[in-house]
Homo-oligomer: A and B are copies of this chain.
Amino acid sequence: MTDQPHNLSYDPHSRFPVGLPASGAWMRGHPVGRRRFMTVTDQRPFALEGGGGLAHIRIAYETWGQLADDASNAVLVCHALTGDSHAAGGIEIGHSADGWWDALIGPGRALDTDRYFVVCANVLGGCQGSTGPSSIDPATGTNYGPTFPQVTIRDIVRTQKRLADRLGIDRWLSVVGGSMGGMQVLEWGAMYPHRVKSLMPIASVAAASAMQIGWSAVERLAVVTDRDFHGGWYYDAGDGEGPWQGLALARQISQITYRTTHVFDERFGRDAHDPRTEFNQWGRYEIESYLDHHGQKLVGRFDANSFLVLSKAMDLHDVGRGRGGAAAALGRFRMPVLTTSVTSDILYPPYQQQEMHDLIEAGGGDCSYHVVDSPQGHDGFLLESEFLGPLIADTLTKAEKTS
- Residues 247 to 289 of chain A near chain B (Cβ within 8 Å): 249, 252-253, 256, 260-261, 264-265, 267-270, 278-281, 284-288
Name the distance in Å between A378's Cβ and chain B's nearest Cβ: 13
- Residues 270 to 311 of chain A near chain B (Cβ within 8 Å): 270, 278-281, 284-288, 291, 308-309
**In the assembled complex, A402 has its CB within 8 A of some CB on chain B:** no
Chain A 230-258 against B: per-residue CB contact (8 Å), 1 yes, 0 no?
A: 00000000000000011001001100100
**Distance in angstroms between the alpha carbons of A388 and B255 in the assembled complex:** 34
**In the assembled complex, A211 has its CB within 8 A of some CB on chain B:** yes
In the complex where A222-B222, A253-B253, A261-B349 touch, is A213 in contact with B150 (Cβ < 8 A)?
no
Contacts of A146 in B (CB 8 A): 281
Contacts of A164 in B (CB 8 A): none
Q: Decide: A217 and B318 in contact? CB cutoff 8 A.
A: no
Interface of A is mostly: helix
- Residue count of chain A within 8 Å CB distance of chain B: 54
- Residues 132 to 156 of chain A near chain B (Cβ within 8 Å): 146, 150, 152
Q: Decide: B309 and A281 in contact? CB cutoff 8 A.
A: yes
Copies of this chain, tallied across the complex: 2
The residue in chain B whose Cβ has the minimal distance to the Cβ of A208 is B270
**In the assembled complex, A209 has its CB within 8 A of some CB on chain B:** yes
Q: Decide: B287 and A214 in contact? CB cutoff 8 A.
A: yes
**In the assembled complex, A346 has its CB within 8 A of some CB on chain B:** yes
Q: Decide: A261 and B211 in contact? CB cutoff 8 A.
A: yes
**In the assembled complex, A312 has its CB within 8 A of some CB on chain B:** yes
The residue in chain B whose Cβ has the minimal distance to the Cβ of A281 is B150
Name the distance in Å between A312's Cβ and chain B's nearest Cβ: 5
Q: Decide: A152 and B252 in contact? CB cutoff 8 A.
A: no
**Distance in angstroms between the alpha carbons of A287 and B214 in the assembled complex:** 6
**In the assembled complex, A369 has its CB within 8 A of some CB on chain B:** no
Q: Decide: A264 and B221 in contact? CB cutoff 8 A.
A: no
Task: Please tell me which one of the listed residues B152, B210, B227, B270 contacts residue A265 in the complex, with CB atoms under 8 A apart.
Answer: B210
In the complex where A210-B264, A269-B210 touch, is A253 in contact with B218 (Cβ < 8 A)?
yes
**Distance in angstroms between the alpha carbons of A253 and B250 in the assembled complex:** 11
Q: Decide: A285 and B210 in contact? CB cutoff 8 A.
A: yes
Contacts of A214 in B (CB 8 A): 252, 256, 264, 287-288, 291
Name the distance in Å between A147's Cβ and chain B's nearest Cβ: 11
**In the assembled complex, A54 has its CB within 8 A of some CB on chain B:** no
Query: Contact residues of A with B, CB < 8 Å?
Result: 49-51, 146, 150, 152, 207-215, 217-218, 221-222, 225-227, 245-246, 249, 252-253, 256, 260-261, 264-265, 267-270, 278-281, 284-288, 291, 308-309, 312, 315-316, 318, 346, 349
